[in-house]
Structure formats: C-alpha cells, structure tokens
Amino acid sequence: MKADKDVEGLLRVLKDGTDCVARQDAAWALGRIKDARAVDSLIRALGDEDSGVRELAAVALGGIKDANAVDPLTQAVKDKDSHVRECAAWALGKMGDTRAVGPLIEALKDEAWDVGGWAAVALGEIGDTGAVEALIEALRGESNNVRERAAWALGEMKDARAVEALIEALKDKNSNVQRYAAWALGQIGKPVAEPLAQALKDKNRRGQALAKEVLGGIRTREGKK
C-alpha cells in the first residue's frame, strides 16, 4: 500500500487493524507519504494502546508538519512511555511551532534523559529565545546527553545570555559537551570575544585550548569582513 500510496487503505489499517505491527507499519507508511489526509487519524493514533503505534504516529506527524498536530503532540510529550515522549519531542522540533516551547521546557527535566535531550534539540530548532534560560539550566544539569544538546541549541539561538554558561561548559567533564559549547560560542560570535579572552587565563588546560581555538576563529571571521 505504501508503494501504491494507498492512503485510504493505510488509514483503514491504522484505525481498524487488530495486529499492532500492521498499525505500526501503517503509521510509518503514512509518515513517508506525507499526505495531509492522514493527520486526523494519526492524531487519534497518539492514543493507541500500543506504544509502538504511538511512537510512529508522532514521527509521522512530525514529517507532515500540520499545525493541527501541535497540541496533541504536546500532550504526547507527557506519554507514559519514554520512547513516545522522545518521538513527540522530535516531532515538535520539526514542526517549529512556538506553542510547543512551554511543554518542551518542561520535558528538559524528564526523568528519561533521551527525552530531555530531544526536547533541547527541538527547542534549538524552534529557536524561540524564551527558552534560553531553561537551556542554560539544562547545560548545568547531570545528563551528558542533555548538556550536549542544550549547548547545541544555545548555539542555534545565538543569544549572548548563554555566553557565561557556555564558557563554563568548555571545562565540562564530558568532551562532547566541551565541543558543542565551543561550537555554540563560535556561532554567537563577537559578543564572546572579551569573556573568552578572560577564559584564557583559566588553569584548566582543555578550557584554555578551546577558548583559544574559538577566539581565533572569531577573529579570523571578523578580519575577513
């Protein structure tokens, strides 16, 4: 049915299929086809008894990007299954709708770190600077996954309020967090130059090296203008 783009047939399977695997396959296929006729049925599938169907319905809605799915997906970010919550957060990022910012900020604190990580990515993709303070807090949290993605999101936003926290993250115990923080500072650009120059005096050698690297890149770009 996917090959034939038989949307109506797939919708029937998604609604009435007694086999959860068949319903999962139907949700996945509808997401690949990206036909707006599937939106209402996929929204209903976010309440399916099978978590796999709910996951794939969320992913499909993220691919279709219909605004009517935003509110149902924000509810799915609270699903009892962490994988569904991950998929819903991912989908909201792809949709880029600011209505999702509040629920995604809450999801940064999810007990499942992968959910918090995808919430950070989604906030970076949406780009609403109202999430900056929450991302800064997440950058100082316990999860390596969340800290990495929070640093990336702050780089996407290019908001100077994050500079101090990102410079601190150059000394993070996790090397991936350090690299994302350095990248983010480079994205922010000129406003980080003076604080980075101060960071060069720090005794943390890894932090010094990254600060020097970022500062050099900024000066090079500025010199080409």
Three state DSSP letters for 118-171: HHHHHHHHHCCHHHHHHHHHHHCCCCHHHHHHHHHHHHHHCCHHHHHHHHHHCC
Averaged pLDDT of the chain: 91
Which CATH number goes with the domain that contains 57?
A: 1.25.10.10
Q: Residue 150 pLDDT more than 80?
A: yes
Query: What single DSSP character describes residue 47?
Result: T
Confidence of residue 141 (pLDDT cuts 50, 70, 90): very high
Q: Is 89 exposed, middle or buried (0-12, 13-18, 19+ CB in 10 A)?
A: buried
Maximum CA extent, the chain: 66
Mean pLDDT of 147-157: 97
- pLDDT of 32-90, one tens digit each? 999 999 999 999 999 999 999 999 999 999 999 999 999 999 999 999 999 999 999 99
On whether residue 150 sits in a domain, the answer given is no
Q: Based on the number of CB atoms within 10 Å of its own CB, is 55 exposed (0-12), middle (13-18) or buried (19 or more)?
A: buried
> Does 177 fall in a domain?
no
Q: What pLDDT score was predicted for residue 220?
A: 64
Q: What is the DSSP letter of 36?
A: G
Note the pLDDT tens digit of each residue in 181-222.
989 998 998 778 777 777 677 666 776 777 777 777 766 665
Give 211 or 140, the one with higher predicted confidence: 140
pLDDT at 3: 53
- Residue 38 domain flag: yes
Question: What pLDDT is attached to residue 219?
Answer: 61
Q: Is residue 219 part of a domain?
A: no
Residue 72 lies in a domain: yes
pLDDT for res 162: 95
The answer to the question of residue 68 being in a domain is yes
Report H helices in the chain: 7-16, 20-33, 39-45, 51-64, 70-76, 82-95, 101-107, 113-126, 132-139, 144-157, 163-169, 175-188, 193-199, 205-224
Instruction: Confirm whether 14 is domain-assigned.
Output: yes
Domain holding 54, by residue range, is: 1-95
Does pLDDT of 21 surpass 80?
yes
The answer, yes or no, to whether residue 1 has pLDDT greater than 70, is no
Which backbone phi and psi does 88 adopt, to 5 degrees? -65, -40
Which pLDDT belongs to residue 224? 56
Q: Is residue 59 part of a domain?
A: yes
Which of 213 and 164 is assigned the larger pLDDT? 164
| CA separation for the pair 192, 211 (Å, rounded) | 10
Q: What is the pLDDT of residues 173-182, one digit of tens each?
A: 999 999 999 8
Q: How many domains does the chain have?
A: 1
Tens-place pLDDT, residues 109-136: 999 999 999 999 999 999 999 999 999 9
